[in-house]
Amino acid sequence: MLQVYLLRHGETFWNADGNRYCGATDVGLTEKGIQQAYQAADLLKNIKFDAVYTSPLQRAHNTATIASGNYAAIQVDKRLTEAAFGDWEGKTRSQFISENPGLWKEWSENPDETRAGNCGETAMEVVSRVDDFFQDMSKKHANETILVVAHNAVNRFYMAYKLGMPLKNYRRLVQENASLTLFELGTEEDFSLLKLNCR
């Protein structure tokens, strides 16, 4: 069994600016986001991690560095990169919906096969790479505990998939900035969600 502490990165400059979609764009943390990472570190200070993994994007990597207490060997894995939102990146939801309401409707009803922002990823492409990562972790870290720092959409798509939810319902799972989720892989149920969106 693998125990996973899954952390979303702290607040970014685009999160703070009307919640503009960051996606695969490499946006940095605000001062509030840095403080949120330190708060996560306080929550995690008594947990011994066998490994720490992060998305390569600076908002996740910086959060991982702080939250893990400067763990000596943080490993970067590109499969944890946030979903690519194509033409929606850098815009608020209201902005890009007004530009192309039909595309948002398609995405909302069938993100599995619809490309986000015209040229981004589909939800199933995201799920495929993130699930591949966690399958590798289950083999590499059996009976261990790891910290994984990633992003809002990738975390929610993966959990929706593992919980058997339609991917169009991914937004029903909340992942606030620097919130902590705990789950186990390799249990009798394969995936057991123990805690969600904790601070």
Q: Determine the pLDDT at residue 188.
A: 86
Predicted confidence (pLDDT) at residue 70 exceeds the cutoff of 90: no
Predicted confidence (pLDDT) at residue 72 exceeds the cutoff of 80: no
Q: Are 91 and 14 in contact (CB under 8 A)?
A: no
Out of 9, 61, 141, 151, the active site residue is: 9
Q: Which residues contact 141 (CB under 8 A, 6 or more apart)?
A: 2, 50, 51
Mean of pLDDT values over 74-80 = 98
End-to-end CA distance of the chain: 24
Q: Are 61 and 53 in contact (CB under 8 A)?
A: no
**Residues 120-147: tens digit of each pLDDT:** 999 999 999 999 999 999 999 999 999 9
**Residues 7-32: tens digit of each pLDDT:** 999 999 999 999 999 999 999 999 99
CA distance 31 to 166: 36
What pTM, to 2 d.p., does this model score? 0.96
Sign of CA dihedral 162, 165, 167, 170: negative
151 is catalytic: no
CA distance 63 to 56: 11
CA distance 130 to 153: 11
61 is catalytic: no
Predicted confidence (pLDDT) at residue 35 exceeds the cutoff of 80: yes
Percent of the residues in the chain that have a pLDDT greater than 70, as a whole number: 100
Q: Determine the pLDDT at residue 93.
A: 96
> Helix, strand or coil for residue 37?
helix
Q: Are 94 and 114 in contact (CB under 8 A)?
A: no
71 — pLDDT class (breaks 50, 70, 90): confident
Residue of 46, 38, 84 lying closest to 62 (CA atoms): 38
DSSP-derived letter for residue 27 is -
- Position 51: which residue type? A
| Average pLDDT of the residues of the chain | 97
CA distance 16 to 35: 14
Strand runs labelled E in the chain: 2-8, 51-54, 75-76, 145-150, 180-187, 190-198
Q: Determine the pLDDT at residue 180.
A: 97
Out of 82, 121, 141, 151, the active site residue is: 82
Q: Determine the pLDDT at residue 14.
A: 97
> Helix, strand or coil for residue 100?
coil
> For the structural domain made of 2-198, what CATH number should be given?
3.40.50.1240
Q: Are 87 and 183 in contact (CB under 8 A)?
A: no
